[in-house]
Structure 1
Amino acid sequence: MKRLLNYMMFIGIATLAISCAEPQEPSAGERVIGNWSVVEYYVQGQVDDGDLIDRLIIERDGNFILEDGNGVLTVGTWSADDTALTLSPAEGEAIVLNIVTLTYSKGHFIQNLSSPILGDVEIRYLLDNEGEGDYSGSGT
């Protein structure tokens, strides 16, 4: 009987310790995974309908597929921290998207570009995550 009481007390203490543990906030690398579609983007604060990023697939294995408004695909690897998502294409320069807000379903990113002709340009992307592993573009 004493053993049973000790066993029950041990289970109670273990349950209390587990329930009091503080849940950890998911990292940006965990939240960014999925099939993202651009809802709107703003160039220098103005709504634009050009041929910038249209869809972005971020895979768990560290790879990405980016599709622009012309249907051109770019592939490579990605990394993320709490401030930025960095896309490193197989060819060309890295694309840095600064994270404004990021949840599992919505993303707000800023890309800063600099050009000798246009000067400094800020592009804001508002994206919806259609779900992980659904690449058809139809959502989940």
Structure 2
Amino acid sequence: MSDYLLQMNGIVKTFDGVKALNGIDIKVRSGECVGLCGENGAGKSTLMKVLSAVYPYGTWDGEILWDGNPLKAQSISETEATGIVIIHQELTLVPDLSVAENIFMGHELTLPGGRMNYPAMIHRAEVLMRELKVPDMNVALPVSQYGGGY
């Protein structure tokens, strides 16, 4: 076991020859809470996208260690399997899908045979809305019914 749960060493990410990240190092111990602060364009979101494999291993340079082991994830599902989950500041919603479908996108509740279990997703979304103190939201309605901002 490592002294650090997460180590990002010498992370470099380039877009069309422009370095968005240039040799970034960060170390985080288990149980430690870290905030990334900086101006717009400082690279905070880019660094988190590297960590969560939105930008998969091989599209950036440097090294990521998770509990002392190299992390070379090629997909978000790989990083999620290790326990790394990022809630991105730029939420992307599908306006024509329901609130419940947007909540479970990529993690749909299914029936045997793989069909989506809409009643279960709606029920779980209603529970989540109550927990978030938004009990009157109709999670079966399309997101577009709730106005802009999606």
Q: Same fold (TM over 0.5)?
A: no
Higher-helix-fraction structure: 2
Instruction: Provide the TM-score with structure 1 as the length reference.
Output: 0.27
Instruction: Provide the TM-score with structure 2 as the length reference.
Output: 0.26
Higher-strand-fraction structure: 1
